[in-house]
Amino acid sequence: MTDVQDQAARKEPSAREAAGAHARSGSKHVGKPLRRREDEALLTGAGRYADDLPVPPGTLVAHVLRSPHPHALIRGIDVAAALDLPGVSAVITGEDIAKLSDPFLVAVKEPIPQWSLAVERVRYVGEPVALIVASDRYVAEDAAELVEIDYEPLPVVIDPLEAVGPDAILVHEAVGSNELSRRDFVYGDPDAAFASADRIVKLDVEFPRHSYTPMECFVVVAEYRRAEQSYDVLANFQGPFSAHPVMARALRIPGSKLRLRTPPDSGGSFGIKLSVFPFIVLMGLAARIVGRPVKWVEDRLEHLLAASTGPNRITKVEAAVMNDGRIAGLRLDQLEDYGAYLRAPMPGPLYRMHGALTGAYDIRNLAVANRIVLTNKAPAALNRGFGGPQIYLALERIVQRIAVELGMDPLDVMRRNLIPAGSFPYRTAAGALYDSGDYPQAIEIATGDGRLEDLRRRRDEARAQGRLYGIGYAAVVEPGMSNMGYLSTLLPLAARERSGPKNGAVSMATVNIDPLGAVSVTADTPAQGQGHITVLSQIVADQLGLSPDEITVNLEIDTQKDQWSIASGNYSCRFSPGTAVAAHLAAQKIRDKLARIGAKQLNVLPEDVVLSGGKVRSRSNPDNALAFGRVAGTAHWSPIMLPEGVEPGLRETAVWSPPELEPPTSGDGINTSLTYGFVFDMCGIEVDPMTFQVRVDRYVSMHDAGALLNPLIAEGQIHGAFVQGIATALYEEFIYDEGGGFQTGTFADYVIPTVCEVPPLEIIHMESPSPFTPLGAKGLGEGNCMSVPVCIANAVADALGVTDVRLPATPRRIHDMLTRDEPEAGAGDAR
């Protein structure tokens, strides 16, 4: 602990300045570690989170009654006693909901209808069964105890392998199988690669179910406007706004009649707050039923039980390997467990990484089976990393296994297979177009300066003393801004042709200048703590020659009034390659307009006009200048003074949808994302034979995220993702017992690491700007969620000399690996 923090404390500001060198060239604010403009409100208790905002008079409070059974028929619900309780307005059941709404749209054409309350049957513990609407939450919870539900428990299926086995209990009988979808993909000639390989290395890995649980739970405030038959809902929803059409369809209304607004502040999300969407529909319907506004604040028990989870995945991976370590081909069988229902936009995690399945390696022959399985568990959805942690657990574990089987150093196996420097843009076997990078150099830098030698020395010394010390590595390609067409790879070609191509990732931002020259910005990214207000103000300030604190940024979203599209939202690292670019383009548009207006007033050509220091001035004669506000004001006050062809007013919206994001090809090639950063991690860990705990001794993380827009915020993202990666590697897991009971329903059982559990982190940067975005910036918020779990798994495998490492590597699991038969009572020393 102390080491790392000392290091961070000693770090000179100039190190962060240097990190932003690329983005800063030619710009005054972008690339600098500007302190956050969000912070003052948050530090003084003046944040405005959803539960802090005023609600209309007469607003009622809702409480969700949830199923205690993992699988049961609902034979009847008796609400009479609950309704008799003073203060209770309504008890709403699935029957009411099914009358007023349609099931949510799903990505596969299978009969798996889901409404916002269970209809006729429950399929997981925690599934919403009834909604109590009352004067306050205390009374609503009292009423919940009075609702009598007659359940007929049914047999359950929890284990995903059992679920796809013979005679499995069916989660949805109408589907006829729990394997909801299977697609097989072949790229190159994997059969030939395997036939001619010197060796085939195989491994099964299992990625756990877990969630990065934000500290703020879900909040929804819904009103129904009877006169317009429209819903007005405030929710701490994070996007993607592709869920908006899903909600509108469920509510049987055009999208314009679902006004969804997001609050100014949101207490973290990490993917989770997409899954508030069924509750947006539920509370909207409740408001309609009771004729009053309805507010719901999810509590922590509900949240852990069933808010959202990343999917668990079982991957069988086989590598066709040559004796020099080269991987000639790869086979992946990915079985992903989405729980009891497939919710839009699932099965995202199974397909979002599709183009990048071969990671940082030049592997041309690939066979993939993607299988979706349903079980009696809570539905899975977004979770930071979004499919990345799952694939890299398989890919980087197999690299470590190859090294062990060939008697090579894992780093040498990695180096043998890395995509060579100079081959960018690089088209992967499965169709991703990697934009830029130099992976070998990144690894040289990370392992340099004695860092690798130090790790090896630590390992050697520890092992010489009989201690259990291991080194792990992980190389990760981190995608940024998803191609919204990736999910259509789920469909066979014929089905894709029938429904038409899906592609792109539309980002939008608007810059507005008022009659006195004040600048405001809106954009399609409802922030949850990522510092987007600060970065957008840096970007716009650069274009307009102002300082960032002169730019007001409002990231509350109102779907009736603001620019948005299906890609809008905060997920999959879309801010830096997406929204930031849109803001940059919008600012450029308005800058160009100001230049034309100013040119006329300065009597120069528009090309000669620059905006700097709050002035609109002639580049060739800087003394010839006008105040920014005066030039801007012309567009409002004096349209007559505008040059010909320039519209009055100053408001520009830019739309950014890069051409590289094409639909899937006929050969199932798909460029799943726009930018591809690189992360290389290495760590030394020690297993404590006394306590069975894994102690991370040293952890180094190398990042190439292209140009850094704000290095201070970038490092904050890396630190946060790192600790979440540690959580996945060593601490957090949602556990169900065999009967479907949920075992990790409190923060005492679902163990989120505190500062005491967090090891030191050393961050190194390099910058290979993306050629596909004007700012050169890539995503970087998810890389360590992808790299850390497998890096630590590899180190544990190295320390213990084992093949199978289940995550999280808890003391209990380590104990199972370390101990053999227990001596009989009275047999003396157990060791």
Partner 1 sequence: MIEQKPKQRVTLTLNGRKVTGDAEPRLLLTDFIRHTLGATGTHVGCEHGVCGCCTVIIDGVAARSCLAFAVQMDGATIETVESLADEDGRMNALQEAFRRHHALQCGFCTSGILMSFTDFLRRNPEPSRDEVVDVLCGHLCRCTGYANIVDAVMDVVEAHAPPQRDIGAV
Partner 2 sequence: MKPRSFEYLRPASVDEAVEALARYGDDARILAGGQSLIPMLNFRLLEPLALVDIRHIADLSHIRLDGDMLEVGAAVTQNRLLSWPDLARHVPLLAIAMPWVGHFQTRNRGTVCGSIAHADPSSEIPLSLAMLGGEVVLQSPRGRRVLKADEFQTGMLSTAREADEMIVAVRFPTGSGKAAFREVARRHGDYAIVAVGAVSLSPSEILVGIGGAADRPVVRRYASNGGDLMSEIEALAWELETYEDLHASQRMRRDLVRRLAPAVISELRS
- Residues contributing to the site for partner 1 (CB under 8 A): 1-2, 4-6, 8-9, 35-36, 38-47, 49, 51-52, 85-87, 138-139, 142, 145-146, 212-217, 265-270, 297, 299-300, 528-531, 712-713, 715-716, 718-724, 746-748, 752, 754-756, 758, 760-761
Compute the least distance from the CB of residue 792 to partner 2, in Å: 16
| C-alpha count within 13 angstroms, C-beta hemisphere, residue 125 | 21
Closer by beta carbon to partner 2, 684 or else 808 = 808
Compute the least distance from the CB of residue 776 to partner 1, in Å: 22
Q: Which of the listed partners (partner 2, partner 1, none) does 4 bind, with a CB threshold of 5 to 8 Å by partner kind? A: partner 1
Dmax over CA atoms of the chain, in Å, equals 101
Closer by beta carbon to partner 2, 227 or else 756 = 756
Give backbone dihedrals phi and psi of 818, rounded to 5 degrees, phi first: -85, -25
Q: Which of the listed partners (partner 2, partner 1, none) does 5 bind, with a CB threshold of 5 to 8 Å by partner kind? A: partner 1
Selected binder of partner 2 within 141, 159, 179, 558 (CB under 8 A):
141
Q: In what order do the strands lie in the sheet with 507-513?
A: 551-554, 519-523, 507-513, 651-656
Please give the helix or strand (H or E) that residue 818 lies within, else none.
helix 811-818
If one asks whether residue 494 binds partner 2 (CB under 8 A), the answer comes out as no
- Piece in contact with partner 2 (CB under 8 A), picked from 118-126, 304-312, 661-669, 806-814: 806-814
Nearest to 313, CA basis, from 330, 337, 295, 345: 337
Q: Which of the listed partners (partner 1, partner 2, none) does 827 bind, with a CB threshold of 5 to 8 Å by partner kind? A: partner 2
If one asks whether residue 826 binds partner 2 (CB under 8 A), the answer comes out as yes
If one asks whether residue 815 binds partner 2 (CB under 8 A), the answer comes out as yes
Spell out the residues 6+ positions from residue 213 whose beta carbon is closer than 8 angstroms to its own. Answer: 270, 272, 303, 304, 307, 750, 752
Compute the least distance from the CB of residue 85 to partner 1, in Å: 7
Specify burial of residue 825 (Cβ count, 10 A radius: 0-12, 13-18, 19+): exposed
Scored b (16 or more CB within 10 A) or e, 199-229 reads: eebebebbbbbbbbbbebbbbbbbbbeeeee
Compute the least distance from the CB of residue 85 to partner 2, in Å: 12
If one asks whether residue 665 binds partner 2 (CB under 8 A), the answer comes out as no
Which one-letter amino acid corresponds to residue 756? C
Compute the least distance from the CB of residue 822 to partner 2, in Å: 6
3-state secondary structure of 617: strand
Compute the least distance from the CB of residue 120 to partner 2, in Å: 28
If one asks whether residue 753 binds partner 2 (CB under 8 A), the answer comes out as yes
327-337 and 148-153: which strand pairing? unpaired
**Tokens encoding 690:** 């006394």
Closer by beta carbon to partner 2, 9 or else 827 = 827
What's the sign of the alpha-carbon dihedral 414, 418, 421, 425?
negative
- Piece in contact with partner 2 (CB under 8 A), picked from 133-141, 379-387, 593-601, 627-635: 133-141
If one asks whether residue 690 binds partner 2 (CB under 8 A), the answer comes out as yes
Spell out the residues 6+ positions from residue 336 whose beta carbon is closer than 8 angstroms to its own. Answer: 311, 312, 313, 347, 349, 350, 370, 371, 372, 373, 380, 390
Closer by beta carbon to partner 2, 571 or else 692 = 692
Question: 671 with 778: CB under 8 angstroms?
Answer: no
If one asks whether residue 137 binds partner 2 (CB under 8 A), the answer comes out as yes
Q: How far is CA 322 from the centre of its chain?
A: 36
Please give the helix or strand (H or E) that residue 306 lies within, else none.
helix 300-306
Q: Which of the listed partners (partner 1, partner 2, none) does 712 bind, with a CB threshold of 5 to 8 Å by partner kind? A: partner 1
Q: Which of the listed partners (partner 1, partner 2, none) does 52 bind, with a CB threshold of 5 to 8 Å by partner kind? A: partner 1
Interacting residues with partner 2 between 378 and 417 (CB under 8 A): none
Closer by beta carbon to partner 1, 724 or else 794 = 724
Site size toward partner 2 (CB under 8 A) is 38
Site string for partner 2, 271-310 (x = CB under 8 A): ----------------------------xxx---------
According to DSSP, residue 430 is labeled T
Nearest-angstrom CA–CA distance, 657 and 508: 9
**Tokens encoding 673:** 């994302």
Q: Which positions lie near partner 2, rule CB under 8 A? A: 137-138, 141-142, 145, 299-301, 689-693, 731, 735, 743-744, 746, 748-749, 751, 753-754, 756-757, 810-812, 815, 819, 822, 825-831
